Amino acid sequence: MKVAYVEDAEQKAVSDVIVQVIEESQGLIDEQTRSHIEFEGMNPEANYSFSRGGYVGTYQHTGERDVEVRLEVVALGPQRLFWRSVWGALLVAIGYFILLPSDNDVWILGAVALSLLLLTTGLLYVGTFRESRLLELRLYGRVVERLRAEGFSVLTDDQMEERDLEARIEGELAERERRERRKAAAK
């Protein structure tokens, strides 16, 4: 998940810019509210065997002017298949427990079959992570570029980490100076 911070902006304006970028990137908007956008069908240049979809959240705390933008892209087909197989395997295991609690052969065969199902769908899902992250980085770059082109002041998550680190270092230095002044005043 990638995060950006838009300083002194309206949440609706930021959301509108993000929708434009997603639509230009061949994504279909599934749902759009003030605070989040869900999209799917993104398969630029038909490079992927599964189309990608995801979520963009725009968060603005009450009384603040900064908007936090969170972006996540996943391969929806393998993700849905994996989670459905997890829940299906859980239901089958509960069914075995209720209907056949003492038949060890059924338990062993069922466990092997369900393990293979979970392993296969898990590997399929995990195999899509790298390409999804690359698409996420490209889409994130487009969103940040477009927001800056529209005149917004945007800080990436790396820049925010640097800012927080600098503030922490400045705070530690100020604390050291206070301690040294106290020591000097005590002498």
Q: pLDDT (tens digit, 9 = 90+) per residue, 145-162? A: 999 998 888 888 888 888
Residue-wise pLDDT tens digits, 37-95 = 888 887 766 666 778 888 888 888 877 788 888 888 888 889 999 999 999 999 988 88
Ordered alpha helix ranges (H), the chain: 11-24, 76-99, 104-126, 129-149, 157-186
* pLDDT the model gives residue 121: 93
* pLDDT the model gives residue 159: 83
Spell out the domain ranges in the chain: 2-76+129-159, 79-126
* pLDDT the model gives residue 115: 93
* pLDDT the model gives residue 48: 64
Fold held by 2-76+129-159: TATA-Binding Protein (3.30.310)
Structure tokens at 99: 């209907």
pTM assigned to the model: 0.73
* pLDDT the model gives residue 35: 83
Q: Are 55 and 72 in contact (CB under 8 A)?
A: yes
Residue-wise pLDDT tens digits, 97-131 = 888 777 777 788 888 999 999 999 999 999 888 88
Q: What is the mean pLDDT of residues 170-179?
A: 86
Query: What gap in Å lies between CA 11 and CA 34, rounded to an integer?
Result: 7
Structure tokens at 4: 């950006």
* pLDDT the model gives residue 44: 65
